[in-house]
Amino acid sequence: MSPVEPFGARLRRAMDTRGPLCVGIDPHASLLAAWGLADDVGGLERFARTTVEALAGRVAVLKPQSAFFERFGSKGVAALERTVADARAAGALVLMDAKRGDIGSTMAAYASTYLDPGSPLFSDAVTVSPYLGFGSLRPALDAAAAGGCGVFVLALTSNPEGAEVQRARAGGGRSVAQVMLDHIAAENAGAEPLGSVGAVVGATLGDAGADLAVNGPLLAPGIGAQGATAADLPAVFGSAVGDVLPSVSRGILRQGPGAAALREAAERFLDEVGAAVGPRNDGFR
């Protein structure tokens, strides 16, 4: 059996060929209403299916937010399973936005849920929280490495409340966020063309105030509805801007329910990113 290609290599190729853009699939009640859909499983499925059909063949990454599916119970989780499978079948990488974080066997169970190829929720990558200690993520890191998957670690998030933990000082004077970033860099040491352990760093920060050279992808939420723009990326990410994967949810999703309008919104964001960080070469061209 040939070895599985690492997630970092697959993501680098997707970003280079489709453009650096991650689109969230966030079917919360207000967006369902804006699309004229009921706030029920039927509306959820229509919303997710339309988004996948419009974008999965064109953008690099789709990011379902697990909570908006889980709120409908087992039928919502079944819809999430179909969304992940359909998006991957259409060529998009799927990043499960679950932000899981725990210890020992519980973390191993989360890793199995999202990073085991035999799981119905198997995704290309998953978001995780390291604030039980970076070492608590080891089951997910090991499972991702074995399966050619990725892990995105919360580091400097776009919510203002995050600063009280992430900007706190650890031993040696480093911020807690910098400690996490340094761990990520160590995991990615020697990886080419890009490591498979990413960091979540908000595009709303203005100045990250941290060393972001982690040799891995930098997921950048906050563009669009949270107030950041593509033009902010160079100031936040500096020399690491080439590894940034901007993440947009409401800024694109609120243009639905028409598939053409969703594609046009994604193309517009890609143009803005290209103007800020470099030329485009993507699935819309």
99 is catalytic: yes
Q: Indicate left, alpha or beta for 148 from its phi (over 0: left) and psi (-120 to 50: alpha).
A: left
CA–chain centroid gap for 133, Å, is 21
DSSP state of 205: S
Return the structure tokens found at 121: 């929720």
Q: Which of 28, 49, 75, 99 is catalytic?
A: 99
Closest CA to 199 of 175, 182, 222, 174: 182
Biggest alpha carbon–alpha carbon distance for the chain: 54
CA torsion 39-42-45-48 (nearest 10°) is: -40
Burial track 148-160 (b if 16+ CB lie within 10 A, e otherwise): bbbbbbbbbbbee
Burial class (CB in 10 A: 0-12, 13-18, 19+), 78: middle
Burial class (CB in 10 A: 0-12, 13-18, 19+), 25: buried
**Residue 281, amino acid:** N
Point out the residues that are catalytic: 99
